[in-house]
Amino acid sequence: MFGNTRSIFQSYIDMGLDITFVDATDVANVKNGLKVTTKLIFVETIANPATQIADWKPLVTYARKRHHLRG
């Protein structure tokens, strides 16, 4: 994650938001990191510093399915 991104998320944590950081290059990590109260999945297109790239299709498919089941 870019340093500035992590910094702004830390500011949100300091304000009381619950944020979980996971390696989004594996959908299982995202699934395991989600909570009942999760409202947002944020993934950078190319994460720093190792330039990892998340596989968007399974992430989007899972997020849509999860939202539908909760809705």
Cα 35 to Cα 38: distance, rounded to the nearest angstrom: 5
Closest C-alpha to 70, from 46, 38, 44, 43: 38
The 10 Å CB-count burial string (b at 16+, else e) for 18-56 is eeeeeebeebeebeeeeeeeeeeeebeeebeeeeeebee
In this prediction the pTM is 0.72
Two structure tokens written together for 59: 């992430």
pLDDT band with cut points at 50, 70 and 90 for residue 71? very low
Which helix H or strand E contains 55, and what residues bound it?
none
pLDDT (tens digit per residue) in 43-62: 887 766 677 788 888 888 88
